[in-house]
Amino acid sequence: MTTFATISTKVRAGQRITPDEALFLFTSHDLLGIGELAAEVNERKNGKNVYFNVNRHINPTNVCVNRCAFCAFSRTAGEEGAYTLALDEICRRAREAEGEGATEVHIVGGLHPDLAFEFYEETLRAIRNAAPKLHIKAFTAVEIEYFSRISGLSIEKVFERLISAGLGSMPGGGAEILVEDVRQKICPEKIPGARWLEIIRLAHLAGLKTNATMLYGHVESTADRIAHMEMLRNLQDETGGFQAFIPLAFQTENSDLKLDIKGTSGLDDLKTLAIARIFLDNFDHIKAYWIMLGEKIAQVSLAFGVNDLDGTVVEEKIGHDAGAASPQSLSKEGIIRLIGKAGKVPVERDTLYHPIRSY
Ligand code: V47
Ligand code: SF4
């Protein structure tokens, strides 16, 4: 019979837990027990180090043909609030970020009906010229698949061209919940979960590191969350190309998903991060994205198995268009303070987790 004790014995012996055992943890009310176990697993992997980076998000356009039901960021072309940044403006923001000490730009946007694949290649080249020291982490698997569709090029060729234009790695967006019947409810136009996994597999084979996200706290069940994480764990066994797992707490405002909730609870946030740390035994990094969680839960999560707080971000649109109450940006000093006060060692990292400096 599964009990918390049988699970913790397994985890302490370095054994993998099953989906049923992860489900058991979700039904348990022993939040502190789960957190302690997750913290132990994390400390084995990362010691007291908690990573952050100095980065800037740029979203070149919010015009998107998909219009996922949960997404408050996207617009239809011509609709009020629709925008597309000029290349000059994208470069200006990248240059400014580099000047302020950023090491990364994080670029994702909508699936624009009129921009050609060459625009995205040009964007990468222009950023590389304008701010050569920045690592460019860009495009979700959903965008990559769209580039292949609009250009007629294979996924492999799309990667080859983007890498040669300056692409350094990929963020983990677009995964949502990989289970198909959930996708049908929240993002029916988006590529199927199996296709997301296949594109990420090809990214890893092309030598790109990626992250993986999970949008939770909407219509999915805890069993769906575990199924999602199991698919990621299996792919990671095969490729080893994932860096961080990032659960994204659903922000409810301005969404077409009419749910009777006002967002996730702090308890669910902490449990989800801790169970991810325990279940995803082949992921080195579990990231608390403070934009969606708020700074306070993100800080507390450092005692629940989390070892990464993302970055300074500077200007965030996706979560804030959906009502996120967190600030737009955290200063480097602010992040260092947050981590230090939690009794951990703040380590500034680059995108590929090479340490830059400990504080
Ligand atoms: O895929 C959209 C999510 C993602 C909402 O890899 C929402 O380092 C919450 O992937 N409430 C994009 N989430 C952001 C993303 C990301 C962010 C930070 C770091 C990294 C990384 C990746 O945002 C989308 C979608 O899952 N999202 N709308 C919303 N209302
Ligand atoms: Fe478009 Fe991404 Fe928003 Fe979906 S989540 S509508 S694909 S921008």
What is the pairing mode between strands 49-53 and 345-349? Answer: parallel
Q: What confidence tens digit (pLDDT) does each residue in 187-205 have?
A: 999 999 999 999 999 999 9
pLDDT tier at 258 (50, 70, 90 boundaries)?
confident
Q: What confidence tens digit (pLDDT) does each residue in 296-355 have?
A: 999 999 999 999 999 999 989 999 999 999 998 899 999 999 999 999 999 999 999 999
Does the beta carbon of 309 lie inside 6 Å of ligand 1?
no
Q: Residue 341: its pLDDT value, please? A: 97
Average pLDDT over residues 153-159: 98
Does the beta carbon of 64 lie inside 6 Å of ligand 2?
yes
Q: Residue 18: its pLDDT value, please? A: 98
pLDDT tier at 357 (50, 70, 90 boundaries)?
very high
Q: Residue 86: its pLDDT value, please? A: 96
Q: Residue 262: its pLDDT value, please? A: 81
The domains located in the chain, with CATH, are 4-358 (3.20.20.70)
Could you tell which of 187, 218, 317, 320 is best to mutate to test the pocket of ligand 2, judged by most ligand atoms within 8 Å of the CB?
A: 187
Contact assessment for residue 342 and residue 302, using Cβ atoms and an 8 Å cutoff: yes
Does the beta carbon of 141 lie inside 6 Å of ligand 2?
no
First to last CA, the chain: 45
Question: In terms of pTM, does the model score above 0.85?
Answer: yes
Does the beta carbon of 191 lie inside 6 Å of ligand 2?
no
Take atom 4 of ligand 1 and give the residue whose Cα is closest.
173
Residues near 111 by beta carbon (within 8 Å), at least 6 away in sequence: 64, 65, 66, 142, 143, 146
In this predicted structure, the answer to whether residue 104 has a pLDDT above a threshold of 90 is yes
pLDDT tier at 260 (50, 70, 90 boundaries)?
confident
Could you tell which of 62, 63, 71 is best to mutate to test the pocket of ligand 2, judged by most ligand atoms within 8 Å of the CB?
A: 71
Residue matched to tokens 């702090």 = 266
Q: Residue 215: its pLDDT value, please? A: 98
Q: What confidence tens digit (pLDDT) does each residue in 205-218 have?
A: 999 999 999 999 99
In this predicted structure, the answer to whether residue 128 has a pLDDT above a threshold of 90 is yes
Cα–Cα distances in Å, from 19 out to 62, 198, 240, 273?
37, 22, 20, 15
Q: Residue 289: its pLDDT value, please? A: 95
Ligand 1 mean position, distance from CA 332 (Å) = 21
In this predicted structure, the answer to whether residue 259 has a pLDDT above a threshold of 90 is no
Average pLDDT over residues 107-116: 98
Share of the chain above pLDDT 70, in %: 100
* Ligand lying nearest the CA atom of residue 253: 1
C-alpha–C-alpha distance, residues 111 and 191, integer Å: 12
Does the beta carbon of 67 lie inside 6 Å of ligand 2?
yes
Average pLDDT over residues 284-307: 97
- Atom of ligand 1 lying closest to residue 289 CA: 18
Q: Residue 54: its pLDDT value, please? A: 96
In this predicted structure, the answer to whether residue 4 has a pLDDT above a threshold of 90 is yes
Does the beta carbon of 68 lie inside 6 Å of ligand 1?
no
Q: Residue 261: its pLDDT value, please? A: 79
Ligand 2 mean position, distance from CA 67 (Å) = 6
Average pLDDT over residues 93-109: 97
In this predicted structure, the answer to whether residue 359 has a pLDDT above a threshold of 90 is yes
